[in-house]
Chains A and B, each alone.
Chain A
Amino acid sequence: MTSMSPIAIDEPKAPEQPRISRRGTWGVSWHGVRTVAQLELRQRVRSTRWIVALVVWFVVVGGLTLLLSGFLSDAMLGTGNSGPLMFGAVVFLVLGLGLLVTPTLTSTAVNGDRNAGTLATLQVTLLSPAEIALGKLAAAWLAACAFLVLSIPFLVVALFMGDTPPFAVVRVVVIVALLLVSVCGIGLGFSALVSRTAGSTVLTFITVAALVLLTPMLFGLTFSSVEQEENVQVWGPVDGSTFGEDMECGFTTQVQTVAHTERTWWLLGINPFVVVADGAGTGPIVHDDYGSSADPLGSIRDGVRSLRTPNRVDNQCYYASDSLPANDQRGDDSAIWPWGLAANLALGAAGFVIAVRRLAIPSRTLARGTRVA
């Protein structure tokens, strides 16, 4: 481009809007992402606030773990191993606190910079919108993972209390990390959509709360609507047989109320706590004498999995030695967590895509009430 023809410029223009080249919007280089991530981390890590947050996290998780272990060793005295219960409690504690802390890491990433007047100067550089968004996401995820790494010692402590496969720690950490990156993505999307930082933070928290609290509530509230009366095969004592160990069992057909939770189980399936419980890979459930289990993760896993096949045979004859034929006993036992995790990651990815599109320049629209610079 040595010289420009003035004719090309002065040609009568068609009234249509100028074409925007979106080439380069999605271009990503390691150099660019690292530049943004480094900038974000420097801004955070430099502040002593960050160190304080990490220390507080360690103390809170550690303290609660100690209290729990003390409580459990008292309560479970002589009734078996408290290992899986301890492990489940620490996992849920770490996930719960992680879901509470992570939204703040990205929910002001874009609009906060815009308000501080540092975003536009970064946008006009050769960094692509995808690099800016990815850098911010990576920095926030690293920060979230720092909290997670600090929690690993307590998971290991629970592991030493027994009855939890060691590999469960790895699985839990990986799944929680992936759930947290989803939350980072959701926060990033809201921070690009909403101009006020308070608004985007609230929306991110509401989304996380909806995933955690609203899903089981909706599952419960819709329970009655999926119930209906229908014929059910019952494996029960045949007529004349007396109740006891040696009773004779057989199939009959009865009209029963059946909850078709196969239509609503996914509400629980996308819940982060269910995803972690299902994916943790703790051992098979062993019921104690009172019919309760000491492994909360395994119980949730088995419970939610069984909701997918509610219409199996009603076994009223479990005391009898003449037990139900094996192939009728178990429902679908395939894992739920890959789907639940994928749903969460899809939400995070949607947030990320929104952020990239909002960061793309030149822009046609401006967010209400904002100046570009």
Chain B
Amino acid sequence: MSELKLEAKQGIDQQTINSVKSLGESYKYGFTTDIDMEYAPKGLSEEIVKLISKKNDEPDWMLNWRLEAYKRWVKMDEPNWPMLNYKGIDYNDQYYYAKPKSLEKKPKSLDEVEPALLETYAKLGIPLKEQEFLAGVIGAENNMDTKPKKVAVDAVFDSVSVGTTFKDELEKLGIIFCSISEAIKLYPDLVKKYIGTVVPRTDNYFATLNSAVFSDGSFVYIPEGVKCPMELSTYFRINAENTGQFERTLIIADKKSYVSYLEGCTAPMRDTHQLHAAVVELVVLDEASIKYSTVQNWYPGDENGKGGIYNFVTKRADCRGVNSKVMWTQIETGSAVTWKYPSCILRGDNSQGEFYSVAIANNYQQADTGTKMIHLGKGTRSRIVSKGISAGKAQNTYRGLVNIHPKAANSRNFTQCDSLLIGNKCGAHTVPYIENKNNSSRTEHEATTSKIDDDQLFYCLQRGINEEDAVALIINGFCKEVLQALPMEFALEAQKLVAISLEGSVG
């Protein structure tokens, strides 16, 4: 029995290969949707901040919060320490607010949403209409669970949330899952209490910018003792040209609760660079846990490095409670430039943070990504598994910080950073910072760098596996630990992405 189970799980490799083959082009989300948009004037000023707040019909406290962030931001400088080389961003040549005209008045239900929008999401394969997922992917693992898997989705189109599914079902459990603009109006106390407490308004250049101009995003609250019965998911889509997307996500897991949250992102192919600066804040109370997974597939630019998204994201979890737990999993395949360090503040005693990452950079993509594990509580544990793959002329940097505070007795960290190089024009860099200030705590760091080996390829070929399939097999093997950490609904998608992102990079 156990062997059969294994077989079904292993079978995914072949499925991946088949799916990869069926996908013809390299970036299949590059289409644009023709929709009448309403823009705020280009550029950033106090007036724009006020306008965004007004458009969202926000209370004064929110507007003031934004304005303070704006005042702070104008005095800040863009960070220059990452190993990223990009043309300076002209912050006055961006639109900070774009909204499909049909959403002028918030739709009351999905039926009122413009069909072109829904079609866009259908094209992207998102189940925006309430539909149940068949747990097909690695199904055998969950033989016990015969109920079809459900995924609740909040979709954000350019700056505005389009609709959230499964609301009623979640409400029965007391779970709040809505756009953050809605939450500001409906649950001001919760938002006020937590927003900016994990990533302060003054945190860094991009987070501060976001605090001033964020237009929408997702809000989740899981009440005490509730295990969220379905995956919650947000799908971000940048459509409009020259538009920055600044979404803000706030998730609160109250005591003894659990939620698994997925985030997916795509954008059309455009010649100009587009800016994306998001903030994600997770608050984890006593014995609660949050699993946050991202499949980031923003448009990476063409093979000559033209166009693509600039992705500057601040993600942080605050494990406030004892025995609380956070698990970040990210598959980063898109964007021209990625700057992202999902982090964990392990404040509660015996809290745990995990970070699993696959970052793929092909052609002229640049990724500077990693994590920060800040151990403050006693007996805190963290685990970092980072897999960086570089191909073409790409540069891929792992940057990580493990900090063990003097009071964090008996804490442990394990870090593993593996880099894989394909071809000889790309680069992989590992920049780990380890600061252990407590004698009873331990850190371990392992790092490897390897090349896709001609001998491995030949071995596969000699067994009758063609080159494309062989590369997919080897890469998926390299990333396996991380791919396995993803929720099932995403695992297959991620495997496909991994293979597609590297198409044609060998041979």
Chain A bound to chain B: no
Binding site for A on B (CB under 8 A): none
